[in-house]
Structure 1
Amino acid sequence: MGRAQSETQEAAKTDRVVVEVTDLFAGYLPGINIINGANLVARKGELIGIIGPNGAGKSTLLKAIFGLVKVREGDITVNGESIVGLKADKLVRRGVAFVPQTNNVFPSLSIEENLQMGLFQNPKIYAERLDFVTGIFAELSKRLKQRAGSLSGGERQMVAMSRALMMDPSVLLLDEPSAGLSPVRQDDAFIRVSDINKAGVTTIMVEQNARRCLQICDRGYVLDQGRDAYHGSGRELLNDPKVVGLYLGTLGTEEH
């Protein structure tokens, strides 16, 4: 990264809090919490990584933010306003975008139609937003008529992220963008996530590939049994002996 680009990226980051999760308890079944008092803060322009062992509640935390899991206690705010209890369509209007790990494109539709689906609430800004996403994913501009079902896993992930960006979200939630991809495609996925963040999009990413995640994120949270056990800059967590011993030793760089 050049010095000017680095300075521009840093300038885009501010102290303004975009997402704040406070003492959150949430779960799928009555009386059983998966999230047990989790806390998280994402400031404007930051890339936040969430890592932890299998079953720690990482994906559940993202789904709770996006209203897919019932919140029992605590609060979630976006740009200072509580979003607890809002349905997905209202959350999209509030600037929250979510890319699930699987089933994240409409396979029978073209790439262009997938992108249009991302703007069903505001189709007038299609041309403007198409310019933005093809500025990040240049190859999409030449393949807009191709059916999404014919794409590889990595290419589908690219379309899914692009569709989520069409509504110009305040925050992009990514659930394991490298899952199921080959090592080469995994590297490409992390580069894409970094490019999205460099374009000014506040991003919260859940990842099983813990080391790679911490290498690119501004700050990371280690989730364990539904709580944020550790948090700090990506570099701090990578070099923290407790984090390395308890988590990074068991979280492989290519395993899921």
Structure 2
Amino acid sequence: MTTATATEPRQGTAVIEATDVVAGYLPGVNILNGCSLVAYPGEMIGIIGPNGAGKSTLLKAMFGLVKIRSGNVHLGDQDITNLRTNRLVEMGVGFVPQNNNVFPSLTIEENLQMGLFLRPKKVRQRLEAMWDLFPNLHERRTRSAGALSGGERQSLAMARALMMEPSVLLLDEPSAGLSPVRQDETFIRTRQINKTGVCVVMVEQNARRCLQICDRGYVLDQGRDAYTGTGHELAKDPKVIELYLGTLAEDVEAERTDVTPEQ
């Protein structure tokens, strides 16, 4: 793996770490070819790269949705390689897929209750926490999820994943299909979630915006880590700009912006 600049990794126990992961959907066909990633407490990690690089596959492999053929994934000091998804949720891994991430026939509140079906005694407490974090959902809590806009659905999917109080939240392209305004709202909300202490690992198509808000980033190419560094370092690295950011070069070289919600 090539580092954009000589960035020293954080010390301490990782929240989640994937090491030399080889995985794929079809027998004998690997999408990931020795991919590694580490996220430390309080970090927001961004994963960018060209289409077909294996970004979403990496998240799905970490969450037990794609069979890992070699390598491993650890949550803290526990090996979680190829564990069932319900077990991973119990252990503190939240996952928000890009599509089909809400129950459209249920209300907002019912969707959130489904997120805590493993711990029904804590529903009221966690609902109050989600209403504080997502006040727009509280205002519409009796509305069917199927009637929500794309941005509202994304907020609901995040909130449902947070009901179980995960130590790490895996987000698969949270801004996909949203208008620029709704994309900004999603990034602001994601950063706000991260500031509550939840480690976030995010695959994102909007590379410029992702690098602006993440603490560290990984650039994947052909199922491997091509570059890694802080968001600011990757945004200014000439090779990353040339190979992966293209015409966004002028934008990504702008000073890194810390996205925080308005008070």
Fold shared by both chains (TM-score > 0.5): yes
Q: C-alpha distance in 1, partners of 2:196/2:203?
A: 20
3-state DSSP class of the match of 2:15?
Answer: strand
In structure 1, C-alpha distance between the alignment counterparts of 2:35 and 2:248, rounded to whole Å: 21
2:229 matches 1:219: no
Displacement, 1:210? 0.3
Any stretches of 5+ residues in structure 2 without a counterpart? 1-9, 252-263
State the alpha-carbon separation in 2 of the partners of residues 250 and 55 from structure 1: 20
1:77-226 aligned at under 5 Å gives the runs 77-226=74-223
Unpaired segments ≥5 residues, structure 1 = 1-12
State the distance in 2 between where 1:249 and 1:237 align.
Answer: 13
Partner of residue 58 from structure 1, selected from 43, 55, 65: 55
Q: TM-score, normalised by structure 2?
A: 0.89
Within 5 Å, give how 1:12-23 maps onto structure 2: 15-23=12-20
Give the deviation of 1:16 after TM superposition.
3.0
Tell me if structure 2 keeps the 8 A contact 1:208–1:251: no
Q: Using the alignment, how far apart are the partners of 1:193 and 1:168 within structure 2?
A: 15
Are 2:42 and 1:45 equivalent residues in the alignment? yes
* TM-score, normalising length: structure 1: 0.91
CA offsets 1:98-117 (integer angstroms, 9 cap, x no match): 10001000000000000000
Structure 2 CA distance for partners of 1:181 and 1:232, relative to 1, 3 Å:
same
Query: Cα deviations across residues 84-133 of structure 1 (Å, max 9, x unaligned)?
Result: 12111101011111100010000000000000000010011112212222
**Once the two structures are superposed, what CA deviation does each residue of 1:147-184 show, in whole Å capped at 9, x if it has no partner?**
00000000000000000000000110000000000111
Q: Following the alignment from structure 1 to structure 2, what is the Cα–Cα distance between the partners of residues 98 and 163? A: 10
Identity among equivalent positions (%) equals: 66
Q: Which runs of 4+ in 1 moved over 6 A?
A: 250-253
Moved more, 139-148 or 205-214: 139-148
Distance in 2, matches of 1:31 and 1:250, equals 36
In angstroms, what is the RMSD of aligned CA positions?
Answer: 1.5
Work out the CA distance in 2 between the residues paired with 1:42 and 1:191: 20
